[in-house]
Amino acid sequence: MLQKINQFSFSDAEIFIKLRKESLKNSGEFLMTYEDEEQNFTAKGYVEGGYLRNYYFIVFENKVVGYLKFAQQWNTFQGKHNYIIGPIYISEKFRNRGIAFIALSEMEEIIQTQNSSKYLTLHLQVSEKNLAAINLYKKLGYSISGTVPKYIHTKEGEFIGILCFYKILGKYL
């Protein structure tokens, strides 16, 4: 289901741009987007800037229906490996089919396979108004580690908070 995006492929970049524009259009209730800035991105810019590094397409029934990014961010002196997850996007017409659940589960398997004997912590953030995502993360075993009030500025001029989630994989050494 997850397919690594070829960060040097113009065709992959074009598919990503289409999905990214769709996600920005559909995210209006959750965040203010910088449309002028986003509209200026081109396949060439994404490829040359290395922007697609660590992105994966989410494929369902042989169609690219979304994307997911995860990357190792830092290691602690105690041997913990921390990953940041996001953004995650599923095209609106493919939602409520369990695709995000499967994609995130598969992402966790990839991370565990790459780090089989290590203590891993996964981190992600979500708008406090994105109830579908909040419920998904809880269903997958993520716990809330904190909140940041008034973090996101919406198009309507409102400030809303985000919830910070984490999940521990593996065993502490």
Q: Kindly state the tokens that stand for 117.
A: 């004997």
Q: CA 44, 45, 47, 48: dihedral to nearest 10 degrees?
A: 100
Q: Where are the domains of the chain?
A: 2-169
Whether 171 shows a pLDDT value over 80: the answer reads no
pTM of the predicted structure, to 2 decimals: 0.83
Distance CA 8, CA 153 (A): 33
The partner residues of 72 in beta bridges, in order of sequence, read: 83
**Architecture of the structural domain at 2-169:** 3-Layer(aba) Sandwich (3.40)
In contact, 125 and 86? CB cutoff 8 Å: yes
pLDDT digits 0-9 by tens, 95-134: 999 999 999 999 999 888 887 767 788 999 999 999 999 9
